[in-house]
Amino acid sequence: MPQDWYKISQPADKHFSSNQWIAIGRKFMILTLGRRIPDVALFCNDDHSTTYDYYFSPAAAAIAQELIARYAGTRCESPIGVVAVSPLVSTHSWESIFFRNSSK
């Protein structure tokens, strides 16, 4: 399974329509329905003053490769402990991602 985090990011001044932004979250949610894959989580940055960012955990990136490619997602560092984020969609164990990475 890939160990890289991925991010879909758009500048706030060129942010695509809110419907498109919501669609990314919904499409990801559909991909996760019925799956009990550990550590699958999609986070969003809390501060939208400069960018709108979706962060895909490594397990999430593994099942959402087409979605990430469609919206020109890129590899990134884990946002945990660096950027204020909130979980949007996750399997039962997203907290393990958050707390495992919080000491780094």
Q: How far apart are CA 92 and CA 60, in angstroms?
A: 13
Residue range 5-45, pLDDT digits in tens: 999 988 776 655 566 777 888 888 888 877 777 788 888 88
Domains: count for the chain: 1
* CB neighbourhood size of 52 (10 A): 19
> Could you tell me the pTM of the whole model?
0.78
Q: Which two tokens stand for residue 31?
A: 């991909």
Per the structure, the complete domain to which residue 83 belongs is given by 5-101
- The answer to whether 25 and 67 are in contact (CB under 8 A) is no
Residue range 71-84, pLDDT digits in tens: 999 999 988 888 88
- The answer to whether 53 and 6 are in contact (CB under 8 A) is no
| Burial of 25: CB neighbours in 10 Å, binned 0-12, 13-18, 19+ | middle
